[in-house]
Amino acid sequence: MKLQSHPVTTTSEPPALAAPDDPNAPADDSAPAPAAPVRIFARPYRSLSIGSIALAALVAYEALAVSTAMPSVARSLDGVALYALAFGGTMAASVVGMAIGGVWNDRRGPVRPMWIGLALFLVGLLIAGAATNMWSLIGGRVVQGLGGGVFNVSLYVLVGRAFPEAMRPKMFAAFAAAWVVPSIVGPAITGVIVEHASWRLVFLGMPLLAIPASLLIRQGLRGTDTDVPGEVSRRDAARRIGWALAAGTGAALLQYGGQLRGVLAVVTLVAALGVIAAAVPRLLPRGTVRFGRGLPTVVAMRGVAASAFAAADVFVPLMLSKERGLSPSLAGLTLTVGAVFWSTGSWLQARPNLRLGRPALMRLGMISLTVGIAIVALALVPAVPVVVAMAGWSFAGLGMGLVYPLFSVLTLEMSPTSEQGANSAALQLADAVGTASLLAVTGSVFAALLSHGTIAFVPIYAVAAGLALIGALGAHRIVPKAA
């Protein structure tokens, strides 16, 4: 995220909260401007930081909890046949929400879309929690996805508007850390709730938990000037949203096609990938597909890193339980190790005394991800101890922690204030659609090779490691050309 050698940017420093004088700053009689504190919990930022991180943790818990509870939900509502749509509908709606959030943030600033996005997210949870059949639950999940897309983009832009540049790496590192505790205890807590109470509490309890965090954010926003209107024409806004609808449709088709088999599955997946290939590039910065220097590469690399990690991550527990005989809890422990090291990497990249330049940090993170995936793949060999896979996945988590916050920081730095919304949306779109596309393809390949045993895992890890290696080779392109 942060680090010393800064790239050339086209944006000026966005407005931020007033900061106290830094007693360690060098004296400058000609320009006695106060320096911003580097601690995210310093008094001017405390409420906003705590509230934002708490909401990020709640969103993390919700994602993990719903995944854990959904089998019970589907059986309770007699909707197992619609299981995939409960996830695919949410993801498709979130793609549309991201685009709407990007336009809205650039036109009006982040505060109003953030609150409305959060409200929609919570209303969707309430609808899902009160659902009497699977279709009403899916409807709630769609509302939830739409609101979540708007909210996530707005939260990124809010960090860019409310926090000085030096503090943003720490904020995005804190967001990453907010996923660790939910990833460790979330599934277990959810399991207890589902078994001993009701799956409905997984959905209905979240709005109550979000209220204190929202009040802290509201308090932290007092006296700030984050809503700087931009100049986005109605025509451009409508164009972006239209392409987002197409991309969301393609994402939903991907999810649906992944549940099919035979010729129909192939036709559906090809059609979905065609729609995505036509729509998504129009929602990304020009040159993203060809790794154009600067912001286009930053956005492309986010998609590469996220999809490479996810493609391997999804199959790690299955591989360890199917091929090495581990229990579900022990196989899942590997993912917990990865989550802890992801948080560690995020903390390391935000250290103010880190001397690595940003391209070097990006390259190191992507190499660590490549090595981690390759080591995990070694567990397919019976002679290799299982503990090697756990150690390997720590490298993958560490690599993601080093690079993931950096994508967000660079995107904000390289975006004029009037384009922070669109570019933050593009960053998240590259992540979501790239991951969905690769998972759909690798899932279909895995299903086709499943009867061949261990060999079914080989192409998945090969593709994931290859993508991460491409990211390492292209890391230098995150720096724009000098003017």
Query: Could you tell me if 183 and 315 lie in one domain?
Result: no
Q: What is the pLDDT of residue 30?
A: 44
By the 8 A CB rule, do 229 and 420 touch?
no
Please name which of 362, 367, 368 lies closest in space to residue 298, comparing C-alpha atoms.
362
The size of the chain, in residues, is 483
Please name which of 335, 264, 313, 267 lies closest in space to residue 460, comparing C-alpha atoms.
313
Q: What is the pLDDT of residue 328?
A: 66
Residue finishing a domain among 174, 189, 223: 223
Query: Could you tell me if 214 and 320 lie in one domain?
Result: no
Residue finishing a domain among 223, 244, 262: 223
Angle at 21 between CA 19 and CA 24, to 5 degrees: 130
In a domain? residue 231? no
Q: Sign of the CA dihedral 246, 150, 365, 160?
A: positive
Q: What is the pLDDT of residue 121?
A: 93
By the 8 A CB rule, do 295 and 415 touch?
yes
pLDDT < 70 regions, the chain: 1-38, 84, 223-233, 259, 328-329, 332, 352, 482-483
Query: Could you tell me if 209 and 333 lie in one domain?
Result: no
In a domain? residue 408? yes
Report the SS3 class of residue 433: helix
pLDDT digits 0-9 by tens, 275-314: 988 988 888 888 898 888 899 999 999 999 999 998 888 7
- Taking every pair of Cα atoms in the chain, the longest distance, rounded to a whole number of angstroms, is 75
Query: Could you tell me if 219 and 362 lie in one domain?
Result: no
In a domain? residue 248? no
Distance between CA 460 and CA 308 in Å, rounded? 9
Query: Could you tell me if 207 and 306 lie in one domain?
Result: no
Q: What is the pLDDT of residue 482?
A: 58
CA distances for 119 relative to 143, 148, 222, 286, angstroms: 10, 9, 20, 33
Q: Token pair of 421, please?
A: 């919304």
Q: What is the pLDDT of residue 102?
A: 86
Please name which of 125, 110, 98 lies closest in space to residue 211, comparing C-alpha atoms.
125
Note down the domain range covering 149: 1-6+14-22+37-223
Q: What is the pLDDT of residue 326?
A: 75
Query: Could you tell me if 204 and 340 lie in one domain?
Result: no
In a domain? residue 263? no
Query: Could you tell me if 69 and 213 lie in one domain?
Result: yes
Burial (CB count within 10 angstroms: exposed 0-12, middle 13-18, buried 19+), residue 197: exposed
In a domain? residue 276? no
By the 8 A CB rule, do 464 and 311 touch?
yes
Residue finishing a domain among 200, 223, 246: 223
Query: Could you tell me if 299 and 161 lie in one domain?
Result: no
Query: Could you tell me if 185 and 295 lie in one domain?
Result: no
In a domain? residue 428? yes
Q: What is the pLDDT of residue 28?
A: 43
DSSP at 6 = P
Q: Token pair of 22, please?
A: 């830094």
Q: Token pair of 340, please?
A: 């802890």
The whole-model pTM stands at 0.75
Q: What is the pLDDT of residue 123?
A: 94
Distance between CA 90 and CA 116 in Å, rounded? 17
Query: Could you tell me if 483 and 354 lie in one domain?
Result: yes
Q: What is the pLDDT of residue 84?
A: 67
CATH (domain of 179): 1.20.1250.20
Query: Could you tell me if 294 and 211 lie in one domain?
Result: no
Query: Could you tell me if 45 and 161 lie in one domain?
Result: yes
In a domain? residue 417? yes
Structural domains in the chain (count)? 2
Distance between CA 171 and CA 460 in Å, rounded? 33
pLDDT digits 0-9 by tens, 362-405: 999 999 999 999 999 998 888 888 888 888 889 999 999 999 88
Amino acid present at 189: I
Distance between CA 117 and CA 180 in Å, rounded? 24
By the 8 A CB rule, do 183 and 142 touch?
no
Q: What is the pLDDT of residue 8?
A: 34
In a domain? residue 73? yes
Report the SS3 class of residue 7: coil
